[in-house]
């Protein structure tokens, strides 16, 4: 009985050497995902800082050690933050709608819109508590 020889890696390379290299096309989903990531990147970048600012301001407003004059300036800072976030959200809407409906409805874009809306809601809640 003859012993069967298993193919070696060099054999496989030689077997496919005469074939042209496979051309891979990028899927539409990958292209859309990359475009959405590029679109939302400048809108996501400041969100961490805004969330940290909001948390610190909320904590300072709740503190019994914060004087009334400091609370007034903290509320003014929250109002300025609210304007910045709202402007950012509006700019994202404009940028997304200018790219077409497919990208405007992409999950990444929707998620960033929702995150900005949640941040606006938190700011409004903090301001509502302090204005009353």
For residue 91, the model assigns a pLDDT of 95
pTM above 0.85, yes or no: no
Mean pLDDT per 10-residue segment, the chain (132 residues):
57 54 73 88 95 95 87 94 97 91 91 97 89 55
- Do 60 and 70 form a contact (C-beta atoms < 8 A)? yes
Domains and CATH numbers, the chain: 27-131 (1.20.58)
- Tell me the HSE value of 17 on the side-chain side, using a 13 A CA sphere: 7
Short-list 107, 105, 78, CA closest to 93: 105
Determine the length of the chain.
132
Distance between CA atoms of residues 31 and 93, nearest Å = 20
For residue 51, the model assigns a pLDDT of 96
| Sequence-separated (6 or more) residues with CB below 8 Å from residue 75 | 61, 127, 130, 131
């Amino acid at each position: 009985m003859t012993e069967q020889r298993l193919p070696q890696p060099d054999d496989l390379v030689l077997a496919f050497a005469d074939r042209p290299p496979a051309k891979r096309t990028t899927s539409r989903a990958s292209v859309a995902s990359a475009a959405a990531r590029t679109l939302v990147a400048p809108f996501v970048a400041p969100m961490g800082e805004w969330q940290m600012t909001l948390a610190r301001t909320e904590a300072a407003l709740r503190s019994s050690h914060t004087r009334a004059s400091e609370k007034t300036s903290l509320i003014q800072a929250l109002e300025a933050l609210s304007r910045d976030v709202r402007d950012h959200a509006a700019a994202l809407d404009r940028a997304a709608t200018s790219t077409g409906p497919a990208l405007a409805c992409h999950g990444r874009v929707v998620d960033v819109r929702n995150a900005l809306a949640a941040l606006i809601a938190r700011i409004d809640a903090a301001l509502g508590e302090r204005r009353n």
